[in-house]
Amino acid sequence: MTGTFLGTCGWEYPEWSGRVYPKGGPADHLRYYASLFPVVEVDMTFYRRPSPRQVASWVARTPGRFRFTAKLPRTITHERRLERTDDELARFREAIHPLADSGRLACLLAQLPPSLPFVERTVRRFYEALPADLPCAVEFREPSWLGEESIRLLREFSLAYVVVDEPLLPIRLEVTAPFAYVRWHGRGREVWYDYRYSAAELDAWVPRVRELESRSRTVYGFFNNHFRGDAVANCRELSERLGVPGRPGPELGSGTAPEPPTGGQRA
């Protein structure tokens, strides 16, 4: 797929009931979400490894052009801290194989902890261990990763630098792979994600996304400010400004559910 595709980080949040999803339904939130956006970042894989059967159900319950990105488990990034990860990576690859085999996996996402500094030898070994046939994006949360050697390694392995909007690091429009990846976390003082982007802040992102589009074949972008359904609202607002593809959905909280795609069973 080429173009710009925007979505949210996850689709299952209790506070979305009545705001994003009609109150009291629909039963299958993923089907409903896929009527609003063309792509989603799977957040739950960070916390636990899904079964291949569960992953296959995601494929069955969404349209053929819908895409997923999947976050690497925290056992890899936060517990083992990128070392001795071969077995965990193999298990994760087996778990998500229905996405990869069906062509529905846009890429993997490695979200690194803010306590992890850049060490070239460790990072190189980890990048070498990543599945070479699956695209991957890497999100830094510690300033030492912004150095020249770190960016060079991303380019060497064709891994995407994750452009972030968050309090810890500056916005840098690096493109180190055939695709670009953006995450809008929010700018909340106590909790990043407890934040609603203003119209002016979204306007400022239009030329940034345009620059990423000029330097890559595909741009994936995800809003992580899930409180109150703000991620959905902001994603739709930016999508409209950019004129990017996506199925129009009902007004948020309207209680009007679109027709879901057919086929598949709920996990």
Which of 64-73, 188-197, 233-242, 251-260 has the weakest average pLDDT?
Answer: 251-260
169-177 long-range Cβ contacts below 8 angstroms, 24+ apart: 169/140, 169/141, 169/143, 171/208, 172/146, 173/208, 173/211, 173/212, 173/215, 175/212, 175/215, 175/216, 176/151, 177/135, 177/137, 177/216
The HSE-up count of residue 70 (CA atoms within 13 Å, CB side) is 22
Q: Please indicate, yes or no, if residue 254 is contained in any of the structural domains.
A: no
DSSP secondary structure letter of residue 198:
-
224 confidence band (pLDDT: 50, 70, 90): very high
Report the DSSP beta bridge partners of residue 163. Answer: 182
- 258 vs 74, more confident: 74
Q: Which domain holds residue 216?
A: 3-242
What share of the chain has pLDDT > 70, as a percent? 91
CA distances from 37 to 64, 96, 159, 250, 257 (A): 13, 21, 24, 12, 14
Secondary structure E strands in the chain: 3-8, 39-42, 67-71, 105-111, 136-139, 160-165, 179-184, 218-223
Give the tens place of pLDDT for each residue, 96-105: 999 999 999 9
CA-angle at 210, arms to 206 and 212, nearest 5° = 120
Q: Is 218 helix (H, G, I), strand (E, B) or coil?
A: strand
Q: Please indicate, yes or no, if residue 262 is contained in any of the structural domains.
A: no
246 confidence band (pLDDT: 50, 70, 90): low
Cross-sheet strand order for the sheet of 105-111 = 3-8, 218-223, 179-184, 160-165, 136-139, 105-111, 67-71, 39-42
Q: Please indicate, yes or no, if residue 267 is contained in any of the structural domains.
A: no
Backbone angles phi, psi at 17, to 5 degrees: -65, 125
Query: In terms of pTM, does the model score above 0.85?
Result: yes
248 confidence band (pLDDT: 50, 70, 90): very low
Per-residue pLDDT, 247: 58
Token readout for 71 is: 């976050």
Give the tens place of pLDDT for each residue, 53-65: 999 999 999 999 9
- 198 vs 190, more confident: 198
Give the tens place of pLDDT for each residue, 132-150: 999 999 999 999 999 999 9
Residue 223 contacts residue 40 (beta carbons within 8 Å): no
d(CA 41, CA 224): 9
Give the tens place of pLDDT for each residue, 151-168: 999 999 999 999 999 998
Token readout for 93 is: 């690859």
CATH code for position 22: 3.20.20.410
DSSP secondary structure letter of residue 9:
B
250 confidence band (pLDDT: 50, 70, 90): very low
- 263 vs 154, more confident: 154
What share of the chain has pLDDT > 90, as a percent? 87
Q: Please indicate, yes or no, if residue 81 is contained in any of the structural domains.
A: yes
Per-residue pLDDT, 23: 84
b/e string for 134-157 if b means 16 or more Cβ within 10 A? ebbbbbbbeeebeeeebbebbeeb
Q: Please indicate, yes or no, if residue 75 is contained in any of the structural domains.
A: yes
Q: How many domains does the chain have?
A: 1
